[in-house]
Amino acid sequence: MEFLYYPGCTLSTTAKILDKQARSIAAALDLSFTEIENWQCCGATFPLNADEIAPKLAAVRALIQARNQNKPLVTLCAACHHVMKQVNHQAKNDADFRTAITSYDADLFYAGEATVLHFMEVLRDYVGFDALRDLLEYPLKGRKIGAYYGCMLLRPSDVMGFDDAENPQIFEEYIRALGAVPVSYPMRNECCGGYRAPEDALGCANLVERIAKSAAGRGAETLITACPLCLYQMVEHSGGAVDVCYFTEILAEALGVDDDDDDSND
Amino acid sequence: MINIVAFCCNWCSYAGADLAGTTRLEYPPEVKIIRVPCSCRVDEQAVLRAFARGADGVIVCGCHPGDCHYSTGNVHTQQHMHTLFGLLEFMGMERQRMRLEWISAAEGAKFAATMREFVAQVAALGKNTRYGATLDSAYDNTHAIKLNSATIKEANHAVHEQILPHMRARAEEKLTSGAVARVLAWGSGAFDPSPAPMLFTDTKTLARMAYNPFCAANHSKYLIEASRESGRTLVFLRPCDAHNFARLVTENQIRRDAVCAVGIACGGCLLETCHTCAKIDHPMVDETIDIALTDRTAANPDARFADIEHLDGETPDARYAFWQAHLTRCIRCNACRNACPTCHCKTCIRDGSHPMEHLHFHITRAFHQAGRCTDCGQCGRVCPQRIPLHLLNRKHIQITEEEAAT
Amino acid sequence: MTRVIIKRIGVFVCHCGSNIKATVDTAAVVDAIQSDASVVHAAEYPYFCAEGGQQSIINAVHAHALDAVVVCACSPRMHEATFRKAATRAGLNPYFVEIANIREQNSWVHKNKEAATQKAVQLARAAIAKVKRAVPLFPGESAVTKRALVIGGGIAGIQSALDIAEAGFEVVLVERTPSIGGKMAQLDKTFPTLDCAACILTPKMVEAATHEHIVLHTYTEVEKVAGYVGNFSVTLRKRARNVDMQKCTGCGDCYAACPVKRIPNEFECGLSNRAAIYVPFAQAVPNVPVIDRERCAYFRSGKCGRCAEVCQPGAVNFTQEDEILTIECGIIVVATGYQLLSPDMFGELSYHDSADVITSLELERFMNAAGPTGGKLLRPSDKQVPRRVTFVQCVGSRDTTRGKPYCSKICCMYTAKHAIAIKEKYPDSDVEIFYIDVRTPGKNFDEFYRRAVEAYGVRYIKGQIGKVVTTGDKLHLQAVDMLEGRRYNTTTDLLVLATAIEPARGAKTLAQMLNTATDTNGFFSEAHPKLRPVESATAGVFLSGACHGPKDIPETVAQASAAAAKAIGVLVKPKLVTNPCIAQVNETQCNGCTICNAVCPYLALSRDGERGCTTVNAALCQGCGGCAAACPSGAVDLLGFSHAQIHAEVDALCLQPTTHANAAPIKHTNNAHGGTTDD
Amino acid sequence: MTTVMIERCMTCGRCSAACPVAFAMDVPPHFWAVRVRQGEGESLARAEAIWSCLACFCCAARCPRGVRPVELAEQARSVTLRKENHTATFADETVLQIISKKSGKAIPQQLIVAAMRKKRA
């Protein structure tokens, strides 16, 4: 199965490890990932003003490539994923938006035809968790792992279509497939406060503490996340209450493709 | 003075008109109301009749969607009138002369306002001379639109040649075993390009069976008669034949159990409609012969509505002139209705009507196929006057498809 | 139908005082229409609707041997019935009367006298043209099967069944579960009087089961409905209980002996367990167990049979099969009730995550003395009495995104009831209620709610809960207090969700079987929201209770009795009179293509396979005429509004009056649609 | 002025109950739609709350009426920024601020971009 891969700016800088792990996993699972040509930063946030067109064009250009090559567009970073799905949804459902992008640049004619997938959705829907279980070299027996979803993968749920926004299960099923014990805790879909990180360290610490406590209270030893900003926030503010890593790390480990090369996560 | 006929449903619009009266809301006396139990009672004949007798505008009024006294009557009204008005417009009648409006029993003011507006709109157009009471001899033939219809493309004769032996073999096998009493297939005529549907009952005659790009007749209609004979009938159906076959079975015209239906691959024939045909499936058949060979490479389904759009782009005057030029040549030979697989009424509603009503005959003929026509193109094919009758059908197909898409 | 050739028409032009006469020159109308050869008498009069006016029409019919009457007057919606009765008194068929509406649709909406007069003449001519093509019509009759079918054995169905049975008609009461009683049987107390639900319901259940006119079928579902008002034929599937109803004594030995015990009890909302052979609750009617075949060890593996061994009367019967019954009945009462919306889609409230988040129906079971805790309110997690109980209203109600757009109507009141009940039982406990609006319209309702606040100290907080987090034995609530305008974070021991109510499972399927409509929310639609609130759009199908929308018990019972009264109104009739203006099929023209069948909203048309043509069920046809318009060959016509009549009206209105006045009468061919050739 | 369906708000308060930071806001989310509806959008634009919004979408996700307060916050922010004609310089300062404060640590790129977006007119 062939996919177009959109790494995004964070995965090219501070979260190279996420990129690397994903690529090794894809190779191990026989998924063909072609990096999208000349990609531009997605903008990290989806503008909620109807009149802001320019910040969405980078996403439109990536989506057009996916449509033209007739391959699903795969993302890893929660922010990129959020922006891609939001822009795709708007292009599909908002005729004014379509007119606006075409007026901006006549080459940009796009109506939401591409499919946007998160790497986790590829694992679930194209590989299958059951098939994944059979491929493991080193199942994570007995490990207690909690999923930290954060905001951007889940909400708004009608656009993201990722999972039930209030009681998501996809990461838990993934953890279970890897042989570990999923730890479900109520705060797993709450916000880490990332958007306020520059100006309000105290507020962020507060939010992260509530999440970490909730997870630790249910016995999670490790938290996995798909978002570099969530990971950064957890590392910054949780005071080491729980161990946090990318969701790809545990799979790389279980598959035995984790080559421990640490050019890395910091 | 113009003349407007308003068909009003008893429960909403007629009561709304009464309310306009009770509250003394004036509207022009050109409007005359005919009371019907439900707007769905208004058929195309009533509307055509009104125009034929000199009405300059027709308005049909019913309950708002969801409020129908008979629960879903107005849904049918909407479908019927939308199609009928679209067809008339396509044939050059001004759309402003026809209207469908939802008016509730509480909307006296809306009734009066609608009628004022509609009368003004029709008055601006003046008396109706199109498809109306008087024959309009003033049309200018020089305006007639030239269609850039699909040019005849090559059919894939290889497909036909490859399949014909299999067809003969299947026919022989079934006739010999007694599984069927007759076989309906094309038989070669005196000349090569004139194969016609034939009933084969004797294996000795099977050599006459033909399958080539000139096999234009649609088999399905012949099954109406054949399936009523004793014993089963084997029939060979291309996708177009099969679609009409399924339609006729659904409409109880073909006794399904009396037919052994064999789907065959189609290489296309030299029929106008083949050039935009996208059908490759064979609904309701019992068995198939090499249907994977069906070749649509020469067809261009995207061009299906090209002529329609071309005509739609013209002015109503030009469209009217186009259809006048064609339809006044009609000699009412009824070949179109005899060949049409969905025209199967025992008696035709338009039998014995006035020459002016030839025009209405064709509107009616096309309108009655709405939602049923499979675009097989037989109507246009058989017309000795070369009237492009299939365009009327395609117009309502376009209307229906657009409606389904919204 | 014999065609009567109408040759002698009388036209009566009414002045309606000055209402018509002021704008229409009535004398000119009388003059003008006499040019029609068929009009043998024409007259004007100030008020034809008055007794004198009617009498003058009757006299004219006799004097001039009229065979039809046209009245130019007010709207037929006003006096058509009056003039038809007058015609009947004069010995004419009432359908030989046509009205030309020259008041509402002429004199009242036009000012120009000349134009209005001319239009009046045209309208009169249209009416004359129509009546010429009239045929005598006679209302049909159909018999009434003197039996009612009530679907659903909750309080609504029980009440309707009892009322109809008391009127002396036989009733078949069908219930899907093993016992009648419905949701009310699960309740503890009822608002606003706090009387015990079981105490008032169980006597009614027993009465329904023992009533001489009621036949009870529990564990039974409706499979198919055929027929029409007065003559329904309903197919029921009576599921195999595997216990002989006659032999069983209700001793209970079987379920005590059953080794399969850990099945969540549906009646107890899964809060306690039952065996594979069980009665749903102690007061079940009938008190006869059923075997849950999916769980029963005998049915799963063929091994066991303990229940049969201990059953002394030998009532357990593993070979029993589903039974198919056909019930003939005259009317059907739908009383299928409601169910609770699952709170699973509101994940932030942690119903899935914490045992101490429960629904209000689960709370009813905890509070009920016959419930899983014997009436003690114990939190599910640690079986301790909660010190604080928090309620949240509108979980899924008034919610256009994840829930239902409507107000579930009963939650405000039952939550107040729960609060009072908890305070009564545990006066030291702390009860807090989050609400959006408190809605208490109803007799003694607001007083009851105020009592909760004033006498019991229940704390009402205008606000909602946004997130519930469980840590240890506490539920942490992230909430808002709207009156304070700020966030309110608190903890509680037990959280009760007032989840929205929705139509019972299968309501939509049943509605399709009955060919009646449901609203956008899946509740059964009434025929008219104001004037026919307990009738469905399908004649002979009546609505009882919450199948029609959220309702409390008093309202349900009131509607159940109303439905019963309407039903009895049909059942007492010796014959049903049918509307004569119905579809008619010309069988020689019909080729049985069934295009018309598809447009009929009442399934009144069907193809007669033998004759190969469509036939009309006169009892079902409501006379909309959709079929007549749909038929391509004109084989279907609508009596009273026939093709010929409508075309004649069109001709009269469209052909220019001047030419028309001199023209010969329009020729009419036998072919209903056939064009005439006179223009 | 807004694409948010403010008229649907029935002031149930679920947005403020859902918001992880409403407790610290001068004007909690349940007031937002009402303020705009009453023509007091200006006062919302002046509120500190619109800057403390995390854009986490909890308010929108849990609103029973499909109102999206989160969008109002962003729209109010843009109104303010556009009025005050904030330029790129302001945003760049913010970025510098982040980087200087956290120097030496791995600040994810997306945070820098998001912060620029938030503060740029």
Looking at residue A181, its pLDDT comes to 96
Instruction: Report yes or no: D30 at the C interface, CB cutoff 8 Å.
Output: yes
Do C160 and C231 lie in a common domain? yes
Do C497 and C510 lie in a common domain? no
Beta bridge partners of residue B58, listed in sequence order = B5, B98
- Could you tell me the two tokens for C548? 């029609």
Please check the confidence at residue C459 and state whether its pLDDT lies above 80.
yes
Please check the confidence at residue D100 and state whether its pLDDT lies above 80.
no
Per the CB < 8 Å rule, is A187 touching C469? yes
In 3D, which of D95, A186, A236, A73 has the Cα closest to residue C466? A186
Per the CB < 8 Å rule, is C654 touching B349? no
Instruction: Report yes or no: D5 at the A interface, CB cutoff 8 Å.
Output: no
- How far, in Å, CA of B311 to CA of A47, rounded? 45
Do C191 and C126 lie in a common domain? no
Chains B and D touch (3+ CB pairs under 8 A): no
Return the CATH number at C70.
Answer: 3.40.50
Domain boundary among C549, C571, C593: C571
Written in H, E and C, the secondary structure of C252-294 is CHHHHHCCCCCEECCCCCCCCEECCEECCCCCCECCCCEECCC
Do D79 and D110 lie in a common domain? no
- Could you tell me the two tokens for C532? 């026919």
What's the pLDDT tens digit per position in C336-381?
Answer: 999 999 999 999 999 999 999 999 999 999 999 999 999 999 999 9
Nearest to A167 among C347, C470, C472 (CB): C347
Do D65 and D45 lie in a common domain? yes
What is the greatest pairwise CA distance in chain C? 99
Annotated domain spans of chain B: 4-125, 141-150+301-405, 157-270+282-291
* C293: CB partners within 8 A, 6+ apart: C240, C242, C299
Domain containing residue D60: 6-83
Instruction: Report yes or no: C342 at the A interface, CB cutoff 8 Å.
Output: no
Instruction: Report yes or no: C634 at the B interface, CB cutoff 8 Å.
Output: yes
- How far, in Å, CA of B250 to CA of D1, rounded? 55
Helices (H), C469-616: 507-514, 553-571, 595-599
Looking at residue C660, its pLDDT comes to 40
Do C541 and C451 lie in a common domain? no
ipTM over 0.85 threshold: no
Per the CB < 8 Å rule, is D109 touching A9? yes
Per the CB < 8 Å rule, is C671 touching B17? no
Do D32 and D67 lie in a common domain? yes
- Neighboring chain A residues of C344 at a CB cutoff of 8 Å: 167
Predicted TM-score (pTM) of this structure: 0.76
Are C8 and C65 within 8 A, CB to CB?
A: yes
Instruction: Report yes or no: C25 at the B interface, CB cutoff 8 Å.
Output: no
Annotated domain spans of chain A: 2-119, 129-255
Per the CB < 8 Å rule, is A166 touching C348? yes
Do D72 and D109 lie in a common domain? no
Q: Per this entry, what is the length of chain D?
A: 121
Do C482 and C388 lie in a common domain? yes
Per the CB < 8 Å rule, is C480 touching D17? yes
- How far, in Å, CA of C448 to CA of C452, rounded? 7
> What are the two backbone dihedrals, phi and then psi, of residue C414, each rounded to the nearest 5 degrees?
-70, -25
| Cα C208 to Cα B153, C164, C240, distances in angstroms | 78, 11, 22
Which element (helix H / strand E) includes B85?
helix B73-90
| Cα B272 to Cα A118, B312, B371, B381, distances in angstroms | 49, 20, 21, 8
Do D30 and D75 lie in a common domain? yes
- How far, in Å, CA of C596 to CA of B80, rounded? 13
Do D26 and D78 lie in a common domain? yes
Are C593 and B254 within 8 A, CB to CB?
A: no
Task: Tell me the nearest-neighbour CA distance from B287 into chain C, angstroms.
Answer: 26
Domain boundary among C571, C606, C624: C571
Nearest to B41 among C641, C653, C671 (CB): C641
Are B380 and B390 within 8 A, CB to CB?
A: yes
CATH node for B4-125: 3.40.50
Please check the confidence at residue C260 and state whether its pLDDT lies above 50.
yes
Tell me chain C's radius of gyration from C-alpha atoms: 33
List per-residue pLDDT tens for chain A, 266 residues long: 899 999 999 998 889 999 999 999 999 999 999 999 999 999 889 999 888 888 899 999 999 999 999 999 999 999 999 999 999 999 999 989 999 999 988 889 999 999 999 999 999 999 999 999 999 999 999 999 999 999 999 999 999 999 999 999 999 999 999 999 999 999 999 999 998 888 888 899 999 999 999 999 999 999 999 999 999 999 988 877 789 999 999 999 999 987 655 444 43
Are D120 and D81 within 8 A, CB to CB?
A: yes
Nearest to D75 among A49, A77, A190 (CB): A49
Do C401 and C275 lie in a common domain? no
Q: Which residue has the tokens 């259940």?
A: C205
- Neighboring chain B residues of C602 at a CB cutoff of 8 Å: 70
Residue D56 domain flag: yes
- Neighboring chain C residues of B38 at a CB cutoff of 8 Å: 624-626
- Give which of A164, A166, A183 to mutate to test C binding, by max C Cβ within 10 Å: A166
Are C667 and C676 within 8 A, CB to CB?
A: yes
Please check the confidence at residue C675 and state whether its pLDDT lies above 50.
no
- Could you tell me the two tokens for C158? 């029980």
Are C192 and C448 within 8 A, CB to CB?
A: yes
Interface of A with C (CB under 8 A): 164-167, 184, 186-187, 189-190, 210, 213-214, 217
In the B/C pair of chains, how many CB contacts fall below 8 A? 191
Per the CB < 8 Å rule, is D13 touching C403? no
Do C329 and C439 lie in a common domain? no
Per the CB < 8 Å rule, is A186 touching C352? no
Residue C370 domain flag: yes
Looking at residue C667, its pLDDT comes to 39
Please check the confidence at residue D87 and state whether its pLDDT lies above 80.
no
Which amino acid is it at C54? Q
Transcribe A14-50 into DSSP letters.
TTHHHHHHHHHHHHHTT-EEEEPTT-----SS----T
Kindly list the partner chains of chain D, i.e. chains with 3 or more CB atom pairs below 8 Å: A, C
Looking at residue A265, its pLDDT comes to 43
Residue D1 domain flag: no
Domain containing residue C203: 147-239+323-337+504-571
In CATH, A129-255 is 3.40.50.1860? yes
Q: If you classify domain A2-119 with CATH, what class do you get?
A: mainly alpha
In 3D, which of C642, C631, C629, C632 has the Cα closest to residue C670? C642
Mean pLDDT, to the nearest integer, of C96-122? 96
Q: Classify B12 as helix, strand or coil.
A: coil
Are C419 and C432 within 8 A, CB to CB?
A: no
Total domains, chain C: 5
Looking at residue A52, its pLDDT comes to 86
In the A/D pair of chains, how many CB contacts fall below 8 A? 117
Looking at residue B292, its pLDDT comes to 87
Looking at residue B139, its pLDDT comes to 46
Residue C39 domain flag: yes
Are C508 and C298 within 8 A, CB to CB?
A: no
Residue D67 domain flag: yes
Residues of chain B with pLDDT below 70 are: 133-154, 190-193, 352-357
Angle at A192 between CA A187 and CA A197, to 5 degrees: 165
Domain boundary among C571, C591, C607: C571
Q: How many CA atoms, within 13 angstroms, populate the side-chain half-sphere of residue B132?
A: 22
Looking at residue A36, its pLDDT comes to 94
| pLDDT confidence band for C416 (50 / 70 / 90) | very high
Do C196 and C60 lie in a common domain? no
* B96: CB partners within 8 A, 6+ apart: B57, B121, B122, B124, B125
- Neighboring chain C residues of D13 at a CB cutoff of 8 Å: 436, 462-464, 480-482
Written in H, E and C, the secondary structure of C92-119 is CCHHHEEEEECHHHHHCCCCCHHHHHHH
- Give which of C72, C104, C582, C595 to mutate to test B binding, by max B Cβ within 10 Å: C104
Per the CB < 8 Å rule, is D13 touching C482? yes
Do D71 and D107 lie in a common domain? no
| pLDDT confidence band for C139 (50 / 70 / 90) | confident
Q: Closest-CA residue in chain A for D51?
A: A196
**E runs forming strands in B280-373:** 287-289
Looking at residue B138, its pLDDT comes to 46
Beta bridge partners of residue C583, listed in sequence order = C638
First to last CA, chain D: 17
